[in-house]
Amino acid sequence: MNEQDFQQRIREITEETPIPESLSPEHILDNLNEPPRRKRWYQHPWMNVAASFALLGIITSAIIIGLNQQPNNSMDSSSMEGNAMDTEKNEVADNAVFEDDSACAESIDETGDCNAGNHPIATPEDYKELFGILDEFSEPEIYFETDGAIQENAVASDGASFDSTEAGSSATNTTDTHRYSDTNNQVEAVAEADIVKTDGSYIYSCYSERDYTTNAVAIAKADNGTLRAAATISPEEISKAIACDDFNIREMYICDNRLILLCVGTQTNGTWRQVSYGVPDSLSITYILTYDVSTPSKPKVLGVTSQDGSYNSSRLVDGYLYTFSIKHTQVPNHHRAYEAYVPNVNGELLLCPDIYLPTCPNASIYQIMTGMDINQADSFVSSKAVLSRTGTYYVSTEHIFFAQTTWGGVYGTEGYQTEILRFHYKDGIIQPEGSIAVDGYLLNQFSMDEYDGYLRLVATVDNENALYVINKQMQLVGTIDNLAPDERVYSARFMGDVGYFVTYRETDPLFAVDLSDPENPEIMDALKIPGFSNYLHFYSEDLLFGFGEEINPITGEFMGLKLSMFDISDPYNITEADKTVLKNAYYSVAQYNHKSLLIDPEMNLIGFYTECYDETTYEYVEAYAIYSYVEGKGFHEEFTCALSEDEILADGIAEYSTNFYNIRGLYIDDYLYLINGNRFSSYSLDTYEYVEGLIIRGDGNHIHKE
């Protein structure tokens, strides 16, 4: 900026800009004591001179406001030259989300309840306001003190510059040469991560290399049932790539010759120390490590990104990865210790326009959301954080919904209440669109579903249940309440204009709800049978599969795991067409983790892990089972494989990986593969005869078991 432009800018600013509160006499001392900021344009010497004159008069104060202080909802792009990422972060045109907030205002009744309308997702004006919110709602016994002076390298200050599907997807994948299964995803075209993945030619599996932490990857070539070791990615290689020794792999993706590892590392924070019980003296960081596996035998690191917090969940859509982590904040003894309480993404503290405050944020936990192009693996397209409590994510093809539940209500009412925040996403960009609160709490991600612009959800409210319909403006437009008194929701699934959910106490009412008129949802039927289903999956347009437990309705005695097939061809007259009770099976991880279930109606495969106990022989067995279903004939047990104990290799080292309940089943063409960490085995899908096995070790000792 030349001198003439500078003078013209002064004249414009002095005419339109008021004096900020931060430059009032009572705040001048704070401004003088602010720490320097890293890598910002306003650190140049000429700006220090301007800052000095700012404290002497109204006109020069206005200069500082105009050149340094950005309004809450936008930032001067000229101030961000040379920093493209910061420019992107501040392109939020309207943090209030909806231009017309009258719907929310009109929906507030005399008691102050605002459940019926949209609430804008606000941002803090500055870091000092954010600190005050955290300080107010944090547990009083959790405080930290510094090992010396306040950090002088904090990235920001509270000063001028920061005023600121339905049926699911387990369908068959096909390539030019292979047909293979995918992870059991909730929404078609929205991929979810897991510990085992395949691209139809190779199988990728996370495993434990010589300890019980998942810290390595085994890659096997699968070809018509034959298994050959391709490569391993060792703990040392991963540790070097992410620059963290203490880590574990939570989940991964394989997409377009990209292997993406989602890891959580623990690093000791050298600046802060815990002075009372509550928060551990360490920081969890989520690392996203991307490999090029176009040659699977030679994985090549493409990039690493990081975000504060422990990995929670993620989705992969159209080549963009959306990662969600949870950060438990530390509360320092001064608001200028920014690194203690402001989320850090890829080495930079988030700016205030990217930090969102729910209507009544009575918590000190951040939900951090990032969007990344998997072909640009060393940077994020966008990053956001929500000050919240723990919660559940549901991701449709257009929106990210985050639901957080709190006791006492978001607006001070009694009982559980859930606030739902909606974010639009596309090509890695995440933008807020509003929030709403409803009574009750949600079971899991399957309690929510978006269809034709309406969010439908099922909640347990006190001693009963309710169904809610929310429109595009995040307003409550339809409700069914007082459902199934003295019961709670055990599972839910939506398909088009019909929603199904199961409640339970002594019997299993399967409710069918007509949602064709979103403002007037109606119960069509409620089938009552013994037991309950923990998981529901559409097997066809007319069949709904249920996986759960059989319970004696009189005694309440557990009778075994149950496979149910419901005939939903007439939603007004639902019937249980068939069921099979596995009498000796008492637990399956598939009841609570849908990703562990291999379910493919096209291939007629239902595969799952079970724990069995025979009361006559007192034998405990872990097994993997495959069932099929034929209308009119019911379920048929196709295959059951007992899972053996870990073996002792020739060198005396115990070969183990993850626990058996982490086993995954998948198919490629005409073969079934069972993968448990670094152990692979194959079976014919025609006869279910064993073909061969493979153990891949990081030291290159690959063991075949014919």
Residue 25 DSSP label? H
What pLDDT is recorded for position 266? 85
Q: Would the pLDDT of 81 be above 90?
A: no
Q: Would the pLDDT of 96 be above 70?
A: no
Helix, coil or strand: residue 278: coil
Q: What is the pLDDT of residues 112-163, one digit of tens each?
A: 344 446 677 889 999 999 988 887 765 433 333 333 333 323 333 333 332 3
Residue 563 φ then ψ, to 5°:
-105, 125
What pLDDT is recorded for position 150? 31
Q: What is the pLDDT of residues 658-706, one digit of tens each?
A: 578 899 999 999 999 999 999 999 999 999 999 999 999 877 667 666 5
Task: Provide the pLDDT confidence category of residue 407 given band limits of 50, 70 and 90.
Answer: confident
If one counts every other C-beta atom within 10 angstroms of the C-beta of residue 414, the result is 10
Lowest mean pLDDT across 7-11, 235-239, 368-372, 387-391: 7-11
Handedness of CA 580, 585, 588, 591 (dihedral sign): positive
What pLDDT is recorded for position 650? 42
Kindly state the percentage of the chain with pLDDT values over 90. Answer: 57
Residue 12 DSSP label? H
Q: State the Cα–Cα distance between residues 450 and 394, nearest whole angstrom.
A: 9
Q: State the Cα–Cα distance between residues 312 and 445, nearest whole angstrom.
A: 13
Lowest mean pLDDT across 29-38, 219-228, 338-347: 29-38
Task: Provide the pLDDT confidence category of residue 48 given band limits of 50, 70 and 90.
Answer: very low
| Nearest of 361, 333, 355 to residue 342 by alpha carbon | 355
- SS3 of the chain: helix, strand, coil, percent, to 5: 15, 45, 40
Q: What is the pLDDT of residues 429-457, one digit of tens each?
A: 999 999 999 999 999 999 999 999 999 99
Handedness of CA 551, 552, 553, 555 (dihedral sign): negative
As given in the structure block, the two tokens for residue 125 are 């004006």
Quickly tell me which residue has 């954010």 as its tokens: 130
CB neighbour class for 270 (10 Å; exposed up to 12, middle 13-18, buried from 19): exposed
Q: Would the pLDDT of 253 be above 70?
A: yes
Q: State the Cα–Cα distance between residues 510 and 525, nearest whole angstrom.
A: 8
Contact assessment for residue 578 and residue 588, using Cβ atoms and an 8 Å cutoff: no
- Helices 45-54 + 58-68 axis angle, to 10: 140
Contact assessment for residue 663 and residue 195, using Cβ atoms and an 8 Å cutoff: no
Lowest mean pLDDT across 247-261, 400-414, 563-577, 649-663: 649-663
Residue 73 DSSP label? T
Task: Provide the pLDDT confidence category of residue 263 given band limits of 50, 70 and 90.
Answer: very high
Task: Provide the pLDDT confidence category of residue 315 given band limits of 50, 70 and 90.
Answer: very high
What pLDDT is recorded for position 463? 86
Give whole-number Cα distances, 533 to 11, 184, 480, 507, 530, in Å. Answer: 70, 17, 22, 11, 10
Residue 347 φ then ψ, to 5°:
85, 5
Task: Tell which wins on pLDDT, 139 or 293.
Answer: 293
What pLDDT is recorded for position 21? 47
What pLDDT is recorded for position 619? 86
Strands 671-676 and 488-495: unpaired
Give whole-number Cα distances, 527 to 322, 504, 532, in Å. Answer: 38, 12, 11
Residue 693 Cα to chain centre, angstroms: 34
Task: Tell which wins on pLDDT, 113 or 297.
Answer: 297
Q: State the Cα–Cα distance between residues 205 and 219, nearest whole angstrom.
A: 7
| Nearest of 477, 467, 470, 472 to residue 514 by alpha carbon | 467
Per the prediction, the chain carries an average pLDDT of 78
Contact assessment for residue 363 and residue 138, using Cβ atoms and an 8 Å cutoff: no
What pLDDT is recorded for position 546? 96
Give whole-number Cα distances, 244 to 131, 170, 206, 291, 330, in Å. Answer: 29, 35, 18, 17, 21
Q: Would the pLDDT of 597 be above 50?
A: yes
If one counts every other C-beta atom within 10 angstroms of the C-beta of residue 348, the result is 19
Task: Tell which wins on pLDDT, 132 or 491.
Answer: 491
Give whole-number Cα distances, 74 to 2, 427, 558, in Å. Answer: 24, 21, 59
What pLDDT is recorded for position 509? 84
Contact assessment for residue 293 and residue 260, using Cβ atoms and an 8 Å cutoff: no
Across the range 64-76, mean pLDDT stands at 36
Contact assessment for residue 190 and residue 183, using Cβ atoms and an 8 Å cutoff: no
Across the range 90-113, mean pLDDT stands at 33
Across the range 512-534, mean pLDDT stands at 94
Buried (b) or exposed (e) across 367-391, using 16+ Cβ within 10 A? bbbbbbebeebeebbbbbbbbbbeb
| Nearest of 626, 638, 636, 702 to residue 664 by alpha carbon | 626
Q: What is the pLDDT of residues 196-236, one digit of tens each?
A: 999 999 999 999 987 778 999 999 999 999 999 999 999 99
Q: State the Cα–Cα distance between residues 22 and 29, nearest whole angstrom.
A: 10
Residue 166 φ then ψ, to 5°:
175, -85
Task: Provide the pLDDT confidence category of residue 177 given band limits of 50, 70 and 90.
Answer: confident
What pTM does this model have? 0.80
Q: What is the pLDDT of residues 316-329, one digit of tens each?
A: 999 999 999 999 87
Helix, coil or strand: residue 43: helix
Listing from the earlier edge strand, what are the strands of the sheet with 300-308? Answer: 247-255, 258-267, 283-292, 300-308, 344-345, 348-349
Handedness of CA 426, 432, 437, 443 (dihedral sign): positive
Task: Provide the pLDDT confidence category of residue 413 given band limits of 50, 70 and 90.
Answer: low
| Max CA pair span of the chain | 94
Contact assessment for residue 306 and residue 274, using Cβ atoms and an 8 Å cutoff: no
Contact assessment for residue 144 and residue 272, using Cβ atoms and an 8 Å cutoff: yes
How much is the CA Rg of the chain, to the nearest whole Å? Answer: 28
Q: Would the pLDDT of 52 be above 50?
A: no
Across the range 388-402, mean pLDDT stands at 94
HSE-up of 96 (CA within 13 Å, CB side)? 7
Residue 703 φ then ψ, to 5°:
-110, 120
Instruction: For residue 644, give every residue at least 6 positions away whose Cβ sits within 8 Å of its Cβ, in sequence order, or none.
Output: none
Q: What is the pLDDT of residues 633-650, one digit of tens each?
A: 999 999 999 887 554 444
Q: Would the pLDDT of 12 be above 90?
A: no
